[in-house]
A = this chain, B = another copy of it.
Amino acid sequence: MPTDQLGVAGYSLPLSPTGASSMLTPPPWHFAGDVVMIDYRVDPAAAAAFLPPGLTEGPDPGAAAAVFARWQWCSDSGAELADPGRAQFAEFLVLLGCAHDGRPMARCPYAWVDQPVPLVRGWVQGMPKQLGEIHQTTPFPVGRAGPRLAAGGRFDGTLSVHGRRVVEGTVTLEHRSDSPPPLHTVPLAHTRTFPAWLPTDRAVHRLVCSEVTGVEFSEVWTGRADLRIFDALDADFAALRPVEVGAGHVFSYAETLVGGRALD
């Protein structure tokens, strides 16, 4: 039923007479963030088991990344920025290299954020965000209590879920990079999912890809990395443990998420 025949309005719940109570503003959503990203490799068969029909292994089976990010976001109005506690969130996500119709993409099997609005917004897109505690090192231009964004700088990231440590990563910067890490430049392929509820329902599952504009990278610093994934969740998650850890990267990034495109 379209909203105009609904008597109540809103891009999302809560629906209300004017739509003013909607938890989510409609896209576009603008994001800027500081990213600590670690390339790694998983067992290619384990990665393949996470790909739905329509997605294939892609050019580099087993390629994966662990991404810690600290975001600030706003709607087109920018109104959210006036209340920084609502405009900021931290995120950790796992990316698996894959392809759709021969085009390289990334699949995000797991993601955690520390605020409810990005969590629910993730579910609208098909991005499987849950709630967790995510922290990452802040660089500072002064003093001894933080790295410089320069060779030798050390950046750590941590994820805890339900009071248990799940992921720890470390990047030690070595040099500037000519290009951003590949898995951060390809589209994300999600399965937009609406669980069944009524007796006659079948769950909605659509293979979609996120459409972004306004992508900007700051300079990218790269170095050696370490990644520790602990056995604190379920066996499916544990199957994506690193078999090899590659380089780490630290950069700032911005994008505008404008909506989704069907891949199925």
Tell me the A residues contacting B by CB distance below 8 Å. Answer: 1-3, 5-8, 11-18, 20-21, 23-24, 26, 30-34, 49-53, 70-74, 78, 81-88, 109-111, 116, 119-120, 123-131, 133, 135-138, 140-147, 154, 156-158, 160, 162-165, 170, 191-200, 202-206, 208, 214, 216-218, 232-237, 239, 252-256, 259-262, 264
On chain B, the residues within 8 Å of A26 by CB distance are 195
Which of A135, A157, A206, A236 has the most chain B CB within a 10 Å cutoff? A236
**CB-CB nearest in chain B for A20:** B234
Nearest 5 pairs of A and B residues by beta carbon: A143-B254, A160-B163, A14-B128, A32-B143, A85-B135
Copies of the chain in the assembly: 4
Q: Which of A11, A195, A234 is the most central at the interface, judged by chain B CB atoms within 10 Å of its CB?
A: A195
A102 to chain B minimum Cβ distance, whole angstroms, is 19
The reply to whether B52 and A15 form a contact with Cβ atoms under 8 Å apart is yes
Q: Which of chain B's residues have a CB closer than 8 A to the CB of A123? A: 13, 120, 123
Q: Is A233 a contact of B21 with CB atoms below 8 Å? A: yes
